[in-house]
Amino acid sequence: MKGEQLAFVKSDGITLADCDNVVTSYGLQTALFPRNIPPREIVRHSPDELQFMATNEMLDEANIHFTQEEQATLSKFIDPIADVDKLMASELAQECLLIKGRNGTLSDMIQLIETSLTADSKADANISTTE
């Protein structure tokens, strides 16, 4: 998703608000840094990359993986995105795993992808009309 995003850090978690007033809250269980990374490696990565790595680490430890059916269905949505934007595709796949970890359904995962694509295309349209 493109555009500005505000982050509010509180004692019980982090709340993000984007330019469309969509608010997302994360409890403190959201990993911000991978556990076993040397300090000199930390400086080589952006904060987003570090959080991505930490979340993958958390998902692996929780043994959260897609079933074959989920993988096949989600690939129909995510593979075309990966052809254009690998980072967005990997972030969407990770978000889908997080949904699964919260006992979400395949339908919930597809809805997330569709909503993200709609938000991304609206952001692109806003950028192109202002240029």
Per-residue pLDDT tens for 34-88? 778 888 888 888 887 887 788 778 777 778 888 999 999 999 999 999 899 888 8
Residue 59 CB partners (closer than 8 Å, separation 6+): 94, 97, 98, 101
Contact of 26 with 13, CB cutoff 8 Å? yes
What's the pTM value of the predicted model, to 2 decimals? Answer: 0.58
The token duo for 117 is 């694509």
Pairing of strands 23-27, 5-10: unpaired
Whether residues 7 and 43 fall in one domain:
no
- 41-46 contacts at long range (C-beta below 8 A, 24 or more positions apart): none
What gap in Å lies between CA 46 and CA 99, rounded to an integer? 24
Domain that holds residue 20: 1-30
pLDDT for the residue 35: 78
Do 10 and 48 lie in one domain? The reply is no
Residue 98 and residue 61 in one domain: yes
- Same domain, yes or no, for 57 and 115? yes
Confidence of residue 6 (pLDDT cuts 50, 70, 90): low
Provide the number of structural domains found in the chain: 2
